[in-house]
Amino acid sequence: MIVVVDERELVKDGYTSLFGREGIPSTGFDPIEFGEWVASAADSDVAAVEAFLLGQGDRTGDLPRAIRDRTMAPVIAVSDQPSLEATLALFDSGVDDVVRKPVHPREILARAAAIRRRLKAVANYTEIGAIRVYSDGRDPEINGEIFPLPRRERRILEYLVANRGRRVSKSQIFNAIYGIFDEEVEENVVESHISKLRKKLRKKLGVDPVDSKRFLGYCIDWK
């Protein structure tokens, strides 16, 4: 999920709409509301955020360090002022990157992915046995062949691989895939997506790499 922070409703609504077209859940905050949320939100909610996009607001400059107290997710600032001083001030506030408007949501996603790679010092993919999962939105591969998946199933596989060897709950998967503020979709839809994903993996691999335990959640760890 992408969190957009800007005091202008039109800007927040515009970005959340654009991210939605790319199949990426997002939500918008006023800077003051966001400051309160990031300080008090549950760890699982904060962990569901893939990147923070900071725009205009009187208190925006205080937010990067508040974010960093809770998570290492990329913080990208959108600048309306094409000046060196404004850009340097944003970096001084603690953001990871600065972009100038207009900027396409795909560029923001690509920059966020690049920041995550630098932070983790890893390649843009993760391999579990014959499965290779990319962090840039490409379809995964199995035994070197493209393994096309619908967007939701692909993102679930990406989330499971990112948390390999660790159990994640249905709620955590839902928050990561649909966003923590989506009230129009029932959480149980995750079970349907996972069931379809597991059938496809089992057919391709001959085994089911996803282990599930009632009340404990899901885990992928296959060699």
CATH classification of the domain holding 112: 3.40.50.2300
Does residue 124 carry a pLDDT above 80? no
Residue 223 confidence (pLDDT) = 59
* pLDDT class of 222 with cuts at 50, 70, 90: low
Per the structure, the complete domain to which residue 215 belongs is given by 125-220
Question: What confidence tens digit (pLDDT) does each residue in 137-169 have?
Answer: 788 999 989 999 998 899 999 999 988 888 999
> What's the one-letter identity of residue 126?
T
Q: Are residues 89 and 131 in the same domain?
A: no
Tell me the pLDDT tens digit for each residue of 189-218. Answer: 889 999 999 999 999 999 999 999 888 899
**Are 103 and 150 in the same domain?**
no
Torsion of CA 208, 185, 173, 178, to 10 degrees: 120
Q: How many domains does the chain contain in total?
A: 2
Same domain assignment for residues 130 and 184: yes
State the Cα–Cα distance between residues 100 and 191, nearest whole angstrom.
40
The token pair at 152 is 């939701």
- The residues with which 109 forms a beta bridge, in sequence order, are none
Query: CATH number, domain at 176?
Result: 1.10.10.10
